[in-house]
Amino acid sequence: MPSPFDLAGLRAMVTGANTGLGQAIAVALGAAGAQVVGVGRSAMDETADLVRAAGASFTAVAADLATLEPIERVVAEARAGGRVDILVNNAGIIRRADAIDFTEQDWDDVMNVNLKSTFFLTQAVARGMLQDGKGGKVISIASLLSFQGGIRIPSYTASKSGLAGLTRLLACEWAGRGINVNAIAPGYFVTNNTEALRADPDRNAAILARIPAGKWGDPSDIGGAAVFLASRAADYVHGVVLPVDGGWLAR
């Protein structure tokens, strides 16, 4: 009997697969047997090598999700090799400034990538899942800021709070039609987005002091949660925002 976590024969599209958490998720899904389509605005050669070393195929689709313009093409290219069974909405950006000084441009840039493009890409992929009646899995990368306020990242907090709400809404609409919509809320991971925090001795020490696990997360730590939510093991899991945070929210 095959493992309920086996993704063999399935095709997974991962946005922001060129680095960090997206790369780690792409590798984990590939290691679990999925064919991987990576979407990124920069070269994904390293991700491709890692996914293929894990025994899976990898297809790169170049796109900048700052606007909706590439979405139709992205979905068409992803489907060229077969239906998309799993969508991981990982692409995201962050801007830091005091709320009193925050600009409209920084607000719009973050909301466009993190929330607007995520919704419309999900809509485009879900149309195919609903049309053929075979369903699928949608996993969005939320944040601890889906639960908390944070400081100096107003548009990021708003976008990730919105993403948690959107996850629940889509689960309510699509659960009965065979699509599981869930999210993962990463804690503090070693990625490009947290470089400024890790470089600040005071902020770095304060963050580490609150994490029960006592360390920043490594991107590889998130792969198991993604495989679970993408697999048959999660067939009755809908609308969940799953923290992978070293115990941060339990503190």
Question: What is the rounded (10 degree) CA torsion for 1, 83, 178, 112?
Answer: 130
174: region left, alpha or beta (phi > 0 left; psi from -120 to 50 alpha): alpha
Contact 208, 216 (CB under 8 A): yes
Contact 32, 54 (CB under 8 A): no
Token digits of residue 47: 């991700």
Contact 246, 188 (CB under 8 A): yes
Helix (H) or strand (E) holding 86: strand 86-89
Token digits of residue 135: 């369903």
Which of 156, 189, 216, 228 is catalytic? The answer is 156
Name 199's bridge partners.
none
Rg (the chain; Cα; Å): 17
Q: Catalytic annotation on 188? A: no
* Type of residue at 45: D
Q: Which residues are catalytic?
A: 156
